[in-house]
Amino acid sequence: MEKNVTGMDELLAGYAAGTLSYPAQALIGAHLELSDLNRNYVSSLESLGGVSLTDAEPVALSNRDENLSAIFGDNTPFANDNASAASDEGPVPQSLQSIVGKSLDGLPWKTLLPGVKECKFGEVDGCSTSLLWVRAGRAMPSHTHHGTELTLVLQGGFKDDDGHYIAGDVAFADGDVDHKPIADDGEDCICFAVTAGRLELTGPVGRWFAPFMR
């Protein structure tokens, strides 16, 4: 489960307020779909926000019709063509389907190193989004971050120095974290990652592979 409680609480508050970047908002929404750990907390935050709005003085909305059309229209800020072609059922939480699509089948995976693959979906709101697939029992290279990284486990699990993460859990890493995630035995690990800033490989093996992972 997520170990950075303060950071997670800030993310959940941002989600309830709608202030996170679009990819981070989607990631936290998927976390709430997969895990009941923080649902009551977010529901309480959203209820509190509703009370605050009720007590606030009304403010005129400029370009009202245009703004309402943008909110309730069919266009999404980040759409993936895989979403419309895939079946209605699959391992992808609904909150991620506008980015990833409804199924993991047919995605353009790229091998980063033996036992590790990545599928990139591009950048929005200053954040890069991707899926990571790590073979059961395989370790990622040691790395740190020039910025922040949110990782949601969709399948399997992994462990690092901060703890053990299973499906539905969120791991937070930044420049203070230098870790080497290791996928659990018995099942491949698939994660959705949102990064702001670049990743830096730190171990000797990782530095050797770095030119091939750009």
* CATH at 2: 2.60.120.10
pLDDT beyond 60 at 84: no
pLDDT at 137 over 90: yes
Q: What is the dihedral of CA 192, 182, 180, 193, to 10 degrees?
A: 0
Q: What value does the mean pLDDT take over residues 75-96?
A: 59
pTM: 0.76
Q: Which amino acid is at 87?
A: S
Per-residue confidence (pLDDT) for residue 211, from 0 to 100: 44
Total domains in the chain come to: 1
17 SS3 class: helix
Range of the domain at 84: 1-214
8 Cβ partners below 8 Å, 6+ apart? 2, 38, 170, 172
pLDDT reported for residue 115: 93
Pair 140, 116: CB distance under 8 Å:
yes
